[in-house]
Structure 1
Amino acid sequence: MRIDDIPRPAPAEARGSAPDFAPAMPPEAPLPMPVQDLARFDRGTARRPVRRRRAPVAARLFVFGGALALTAYGGWQMYETVSVSGSPTLLQLVLVALFVLTFSWIALAFTSAVLGFLVLLRRPSLPPAPERLSARTAILMPVYNEATARTFAGIEAMHEAVEATGLGAQFDWFVLSDSTQADAWIAEERAFLSLRDRLGPGARLYYRHRPKNHHRKAGNIADFVTRWGGAYDHMLVLDADSLLSGDCVVRLAAAMEADPDAGIIQSLPLIINRNTLFARVQQFAARIYGPVIATGLSHWSGRDGNYWGHNAIIRTRAFAESCGLPDLPGRPPFGGHVLSHDFVEAALIRRAGWDVTMLPTLPGSYEESPPSLIDVAVRDRRWAQGNLQHSRIIGAAGLHFASRQHFATGIAGYLASPFWLLQLVVGIALALQTAYVKPEYFAQGLALYPVFPRFDPVRALQLFGLTMGILLAPKGLGLILALLDTQVRRACGGAGRLVASCLLEILLSALLAPVAMVIQSGSVAGILLGRDTGWNPQRRDDGSIPWRAIVARHRWHTLLGLVAGVAAFAIATSLFLWMSPTILGLVLAIPISWASGHLGFGLALKSRGLLTTPEERDPPDIALRAGALAARNAQAGLDEADALRALHADAGLAAAHARMLPQVGPRPRGRIDPDHILAQAKVVEAETLDEAAAWLGPKERVALLHDRALLDRLARLGPGAPARS
């Protein structure tokens, strides 16, 4: 058979399959989403708020004024420390400058945490749960090559929880797929069809797969807004690992209805369901320290808050009118589409006159986290590029000061690591200069005594204590609040275990910090050298990374630690002792990283009541239900099934898949898709399903799944060898 001989498939109804197939998506309700101009903005076009709100001036003066005062004091003390011999050298001034930059970062975090602590001491209350809702909300779960057993369990559990509130009629549910793997795509469709059958025709559950994942998650959401957004007042954006209780969902919707000026309302997601050592450290820290930091940020930000891309409700028309993201000029990593889109969308919707606020004490918002240091590094590399890319946006016309501050904070968060590393390098250079370089006698002209470059040891020790105190204070404040809260204290195993858990978290974080610092410094250096990161699927499951991969990832970190340790010891014992925490973390990078992703170590601590959170002792109903549903879904084996064999074995699935494909016009002349051409040639030549499955590459499989004619040809192939399950 030649390619041109492939017959066109008849409509599904003519073939007698799935004539009552309900559409996978509702009728389109287009909503314009113009691309925003970052260079120009007319403030006269900004929306005027319905309610007048005062900016939290006192909170901002406390946070920024306090951070500035602390930085000035710390910088002066550092200057006095290095200039005890007289005028400091150029290298000493560089050390002072680096210290000021890094110290200002932790000083701002400290003052913001103190503010959050003071607010939480008053035990702020939430408004009562709503009895009715009038607006329609679309709940959006974007997915990208995710495990369907978990994602669809989360959707089902949240759907049940919202229905149980009695207000479920106001919510529609959308799974928005950007998956690029054929097996993941078909697994999603099978899970969707199965779930829709279980929930019944009134569930208002929908599924859409994009042929091209243009602009990644931001483009996925924008595609929904421009095609279906006009039918919904609000949209609640999730991540694939998000879980929200029914009460949390309806309270977010009620908060948006009650506030006509709200554009985005962000909840504070807590980490749950984590068991590896590294993930449990993150889970514990987020639960005990996170509320203090988030509450402080929320209080000084006021209506100029930030958006973290998920577990937040958004006013759909406001988003469409003001959040169309432009492509930045130039090539990645600083040009192209906006990678960390959430900060930019918050800034743009605020520029248009809408409020961006946070409800940090709203319970029932959950997420998961990567299971190991290496997994975090993969995600963090993408975040680093996105935040550094904001240097091209921070000066955009019309942005509010707080929005620029959010950008600056994100950028500083990633520059802090290379600054800390440079500070260590300069410190070693100064120690080396003191030990081996002959001093320049009488450098300031005639003098009775030579000037040796040295430090004031007493002042240096005091400054080190101040720095450590400011760095650890947010953790201490979170611990105090947890100890004062009887329910939290008991759920964490009592006061003794809670304090022990905090000390253990500080120790483990201190060992992980040097490795994370070097990894992040390498990421920043790579971005500055023009290396693009791409967008890899995130590994969410607990479990160890192979030892060989760990050694390959960290061998240079270990070597750096050994070289630094030998050099420091050769220069001075005191320098070696000063650098010992950093040296130890780097030398032990391989075993630390291995242990971080090890399930056994995390479970051992859990069995002893350490690093335990209240959500572990008393799991939320939504988490228990999602876990049970995920276990049930996993038994179906959808995520392990081969897409081509699944379609070949199930004519109803094949028909449903064809019905869910978008209608496309004829191919423009001269525009050739090589993957499609190869898929077409291989399917035509194949005599059995086994041959087609063996010959088709990953991209060719996806191309085949987009073509109804090739799917029809695939269905007529003989099975060949028995299909794997």
Structure 2
Amino acid sequence: MAISLDAMTDHADPRLMTPIPDAMPPEAPLAMPTQSLRRFDPRTERRQPTKPFPVPWLARLAVFGGGAAVTAYGVWEMVQVVSVSRTTVLQWVLVALFSVNFSWIALAFSSAVVGFLALLFSRQVPPKPTALTRRTAVVMPIYNESTARVFAAVAAIRESVEETGFGDHFDYFILSDTTNPDVWIAEERAFLALRQRLGPNARLYYRHRPKNTHRKAGNIADFVTRWGARYDHMLVLDADSLMTGDCIVRLAAAMEADPDAGIIQSLPLVINRNTLFARLQQFAARIYGPVIAKGLAVWMGRDGNYWGHNAIIRTAAFAAHCGLPDLPGKPPFGGHILSHDFVEAALIRRAGWSVYMLPDLQGSYEESPPSLIDVAARDRRWCQGNLQHIRVIGARGLKLASRQHFATGIMSYLASPFWLMQLVVGLVLVLQTRYVKPEYFTSEFALSPIWPRFDAERALALFALTMAVLLAPKLFGLILALLRGSIRRPSGGGLRLVLSALIEIVLSAMLAPMMMLIQSGAVFQILAGRDTGWQPQRRDDGSVPFRDIVRRHRMHVLLGIITGVSAFLISTSLFAWMSPTILGLVLAIPLSWLSGTLAAGLALKRWGLLLTPEEAAPPPIALRAAALTKEFAAHGFDEADGLRAIHADPVLRAAHEAMLPPAEPRPRGMIEAERALAQAKLVDARSIDDAVAWLKPKERMVLLHDRALLALLAGLPEEMPADRPAYDEAAE
């Protein structure tokens, strides 16, 4: 088959084209048995590593012992706050909710302390190799993404790896689960054009799955079971990932140097963000993120976790131990596992392979959602995936640290409804003390009425302690950034860096009540049995329509007004105490709108605020990817109608058919409704315009998978023949 860039864009004469290899290499199957969560034979664990795995007991003692000590002190103070008089049941409920919430932030605080100290005195970066002996597949699963962005990122990554001199050790796979027919054809056009551009040694491959079974986890599993035996390692990317060649080569070298490693995770930094909300996330991830990540890496040791992307994996170990089972029952708690990465890390660690993170390794990047509403949509899926882990955390044979990772993920979403319940209980208690008459005669003898009271002075001190514990990780990150000129100077200097941190803290505090209600709502929906589905993630910086913002936040505003009025009527001091939460909810609509706009984010950027080193001096790979995105977008693949493109270009149609899997025989008597409708409409159509107007998305997908229907499409004229009457006219 002959394909050229000109042919894909300008319909050049096929005789002028040069041949390219197949879209995928020959299959090399690798068995990936489904693992059991109920049974595990300890004798199957890999028990003879090259060297014993050191367990960071001192770091774990500092993190969990320190977190427990801080929690115990906070809970003791809370008990003293409510013990001024006889404590009521409702006050004990408040103490219990406070204990859960405070323990969560206390653990994060102690882990950040360890990370802060470790960053002050140590760095762990694998050396740049002088040689590589193994082969690595760089795989990017995609799902209805912007074609120009995806292929530009892969091209930039490939160029960067080639510049290291180790390019021959890496192949690149774009694994599509796309369900939008126009996007699918755009992907194929971009792939064929890029392959022609790169030449015969492109080592770039593309595969589209007819059915996106088990979503991303199933996409990766399909690659492993069909081509995994060709590669010693696979480096998994997300659709918004960027990694420098130096980072990739160092990860591959680290995997080769450590025969006991199953997964090595890098720390992706957020880049390329411009809306105010996204720049807040970008700044926080760059300034505070390394402290948190370093703390995790130190106490986790080789019992680490996997975040699903920007990590290198030993393919054979992954295949042998990471085949995910379906959970019994229906979604949201049953069915396939959504947050598969945590489970894969736990299973591969259960089998005796190590999992760890290299947070000091530079050159790993990702992007973040542009608005609060986009984060809420993504968080809904993540929430369901993490709550599913309630059914996985007790799996047989898991390491204790793996169970801790599951508990952390579960609590990251349960924390919001716990916080909401704590606010409600506190409000009810204050309301009770003001309006409810004390109960003088109870079933138990007492010399005083049961009337809840609080120690106001201790309560204020406890609030200060809570804020200190909550904000300490951010302070640690800010201190490190101020100490290091390589971070301080490109972030605008010391004064702007401090001012940026204050802006981030204030705006995050304002947005926190909305996120609390959004996550609480997601938890309640999941507990009620509502499945989230799997929607593609919006990655551009386009603003959300204002009517969508109003619809999404109108209940938050109403709740904020009710809470504010109630608190003010009860006590002006209570109103002042709750004012940050009330203000965040009352201003939910303008805050969400403003934070999602480009104008606000770019204005702060011009003033040198919320700057990061990567924003002030963009990494060369980010600049290259942006330039390639513009170049690829100029071909217009993303804007074209897929059916028209297939119809107009016989070369593209031939390439598309060549990339389709072999047709499965249809059982006699089994009629697929979409195929029958697509065939009927194609037979009835008198031009490509009819087909484009009549065929619905599902029918288009069936057509694009069916060679016989593609032949019918190809036979349609570009325009309706002038001498042939339209259907309605003929009927008359």
Task: Give the TM bin, normalised by the shorter chain.
Answer: over 0.9
The residue that corresponds to 1:8 in the other structure is none
The residue that corresponds to 2:59 in the other structure is 59
Q: CA deviation at 1:286?
A: 0.1
Give, as a single letter, the amino acid of the residue that structure 2 aligns with 1:161. Answer: S
Deviations 1:423-459 (A, max 9, x none): 0000010011001110112658665554531100011
Q: CA deviation at 1:487?
A: 1.1
- Within a 5 Å distance, the mapping from 1:476-487 to structure 2 comes to 476-487=475-486
Instruction: Give distance in 1, aligned partners of 2:212 and 2:664.
Output: 19
Instruction: Give distance in 2, aligned partners of 1:444 and 1:584.
Output: 42
Instruction: Give distance in 2, aligned partners of 1:314 and 1:609.
Output: 39
Give, as a single letter, the amino acid of the residue that structure 1 aligns with 2:62. Answer: F
Instruction: Give distance in 2, aligned partners of 1:321 and 1:312.
Output: 18
Q: CA deviation at 1:51?
A: 1.3
Contact 1:115 1:296 in 2 (8 A): yes
The residue that corresponds to 1:492 in the other structure is 491
Instruction: Give distance in 1, aligned partners of 2:448 and 2:334.
Output: 56
Deviations 1:569-588 (A, max 9, x none): 11111111111110000000
Instruction: Give distance in 1, aligned partners of 2:477 and 2:682.
Output: 61
- Within a 5 Å distance, the mapping from 1:316-395 to structure 2 comes to 316-395=315-394
Deviations 1:643-673 (A, max 9, x none): 0001111110010000000012311234432
Instruction: Give distance in 2, aligned partners of 1:442 and 1:474.
Output: 49
Deviations 1:613-632 (A, max 9, x none): 00011110100100000011
Deviates more, 1:17-26 or 1:604-613: 17-26
1:562 matches 2:545: no
The residue that corresponds to 2:84 in the other structure is 84
Deviations 1:577-607 (A, max 9, x none): 1111100000001001101110000000000
- Within a 5 Å distance, the mapping from 1:186-265 to structure 2 comes to 186-265=185-264
Contact 1:110 1:474 in 2 (8 A): yes
Give, as a single letter, the amino acid of the residue that structure 2 aligns with 1:223. Answer: D
Deviations 1:45-102 (A, max 9, x none): 011222112211111111001111111111111111011113x101000000000000
- Within a 5 Å distance, the mapping from 1:533-544 to structure 2 comes to 533-544=532-543
Instruction: Give distance in 1, aligned partners of 2:28 and 2:17.
Output: 26
The residue that corresponds to 1:108 in the other structure is 107
User: SS of the counterpart of 2:201?
Assistant: helix
Instruction: Give distance in 2, aligned partners of 1:451 and 1:159.
Output: 72
Instruction: Give distance in 1, aligned partners of 2:98 and 2:250.
Output: 44
Instruction: Give distance in 2, aligned partners of 1:634 and 1:226.
Output: 34
Give, as a single letter, the amino acid of the residue that structure 2 aligns with 1:332. Answer: P
Q: CA deviation at 1:636?
A: 1.1
Contact 1:18 1:652 in 2 (8 A): no
Give, as a single letter, the amino acid of the residue that structure 2 aligns with 1:629. Answer: L
Contact 1:17 1:655 in 2 (8 A): no
1:307 matches 2:306: yes
The residue that corresponds to 1:282 in the other structure is 281
User: SS of the counterpart of 2:452?
Assistant: coil
Q: 1:715 to 1:434 in 2, by over 3 A?
A: same
Q: 1:447 to 1:711 in 2, by over 3 A?
A: closer
The residue that corresponds to 2:27 in the other structure is 28
Instruction: Give distance in 2, aligned partners of 1:644 and 1:272.
Output: 35
Q: CA deviation at 1:295?
A: 0.5
Deviations 1:667-708 (A, max 9, x none): 123443221221111112111100011000001001100001
1:459 matches 2:454: no
Instruction: Give distance in 2, aligned partners of 1:368 and 1:449.
Output: 60
User: SS of the counterpart of 2:396?
Assistant: coil
The residue that corresponds to 2:266 in the other structure is 267
Give, as a single letter, the amino acid of the residue that structure 2 aligns with 1:129. Answer: K
Contact 2:28 2:229 in 1 (8 A): yes
Instruction: Give distance in 2, aligned partners of 1:540 and 1:720.
Output: 37
Contact 1:515 1:586 in 2 (8 A): yes
Instruction: Give distance in 1, aligned partners of 2:672 and 2:505.
Output: 53
Q: 1:448 to 1:304 in 2, by over 3 A?
A: closer
Q: CA deviation at 1:712?
A: 1.2
Instruction: Give distance in 1, aligned partners of 2:627 and 2:486.
Output: 26
Deviations 1:486-528 (A, max 9, x none): 1100010100000000000000100100000000000000000
1:291 matches 2:275: no
Task: Please give the TM-score of this superposition, normalised by the length of structure 2.
Answer: 0.95
Instruction: Give distance in 2, aligned partners of 1:281 and 1:272.
Output: 11
The residue that corresponds to 1:9 in the other structure is none
Deviations 1:197-246 (A, max 9, x none): 11111011000000000000000000000000000000000000100001
Instruction: Give distance in 2, aligned partners of 1:356 and 1:721.
Output: 62
The residue that corresponds to 2:11 in the other structure is none
Q: Which runs of 5+ in 2 are unaligned?
A: 1-13, 722-732
Q: CA deviation at 1:147?
A: 0.3
Supply the RMSD in Å over aligned alpha carbons: 1.4
The residue that corresponds to 1:184 in the other structure is 183
Q: CA deviation at 1:541?
A: 0.2
1:50 matches 2:31: no
Instruction: Give distance in 2, aligned partners of 1:125 and 1:236.
Output: 20
Q: 1:449 to 1:333 in 2, by over 3 A?
A: closer
User: SS of the counterpart of 2:108?
Assistant: helix
Give, as a single letter, the amino acid of the residue that structure 1 aligns with 2:59. Answer: A
Contact 2:262 2:353 in 1 (8 A): yes
Deviations 1:328-348 (A, max 9, x none): 000000000000000000000
Contact 1:442 1:449 in 2 (8 A): no
Give, as a single letter, the amino acid of the residue that structure 2 aligns with 1:701. Answer: R
The residue that corresponds to 2:546 in the other structure is 547
The count of aligned residue pairs is: 707
Instruction: Give distance in 2, aligned partners of 1:181 and 1:36.
Output: 32
Q: 1:72 to 1:672 in 2, by over 3 A?
A: farther
Give, as a single letter, the amino acid of the residue that structure 2 aligns with 1:491. Answer: P
Contact 2:126 2:361 in 1 (8 A): no
Contact 2:88 2:450 in 1 (8 A): no
Give, as a single letter, the amino acid of the residue that structure 2 aligns with 1:79. Answer: V
Deviations 1:448-483 (A, max 9, x none): 554531100011011000000000000000000000
The residue that corresponds to 1:165 in the other structure is 164
Instruction: Give distance in 2, aligned partners of 1:721 and 1:429.
Output: 72
1:74 matches 2:74: yes
Contact 2:686 2:720 in 1 (8 A): no
Q: CA deviation at 1:123?
A: 3.9
Instruction: Give distance in 1, aligned partners of 2:449 and 2:405.
Output: 48
Contact 1:18 1:656 in 2 (8 A): no
Give, as a single letter, the amino acid of the residue that structure 2 aligns with 1:204. Answer: R
User: SS of the counterpart of 1:197?
Assistant: helix
The residue that corresponds to 2:3 in the other structure is none
Taking every aligned residue pair, what percent have the same amino acid on both sides? 70
Instruction: Give distance in 2, aligned partners of 1:705 and 1:43.
Output: 48
Instruction: Give distance in 1, aligned partners of 2:439 and 2:16.
Output: 91
Contact 2:126 2:251 in 1 (8 A): no
User: SS of the counterpart of 1:397?
Assistant: coil
Task: Please give the TM-score of this superposition, normalised by the length of structure 1.
Answer: 0.96
Give, as a single letter, the amino acid of the residue that structure 2 aligns with 1:528. Answer: L
Contact 1:21 1:656 in 2 (8 A): no
Contact 1:234 1:313 in 2 (8 A): yes
Instruction: Give distance in 2, aligned partners of 1:135 and 1:488.
Output: 35
User: SS of the counterpart of 2:602?
Assistant: helix
1:620 matches 2:627: no
Instruction: Give distance in 1, aligned partners of 2:373 and 2:348.
Output: 34
Instruction: Give distance in 1, aligned partners of 2:69 and 2:653.
Output: 67
Q: CA deviation at 1:19?
A: 9.3
User: SS of the counterpart of 2:633?
Assistant: helix
Q: 1:37 to 1:684 in 2, by over 3 A?
A: same
User: SS of the counterpart of 2:489?
Assistant: helix
Q: Which runs of 5+ in 1 are unaligned?
A: 1-14
1:635 matches 2:630: no
User: SS of the counterpart of 1:356?
Assistant: strand
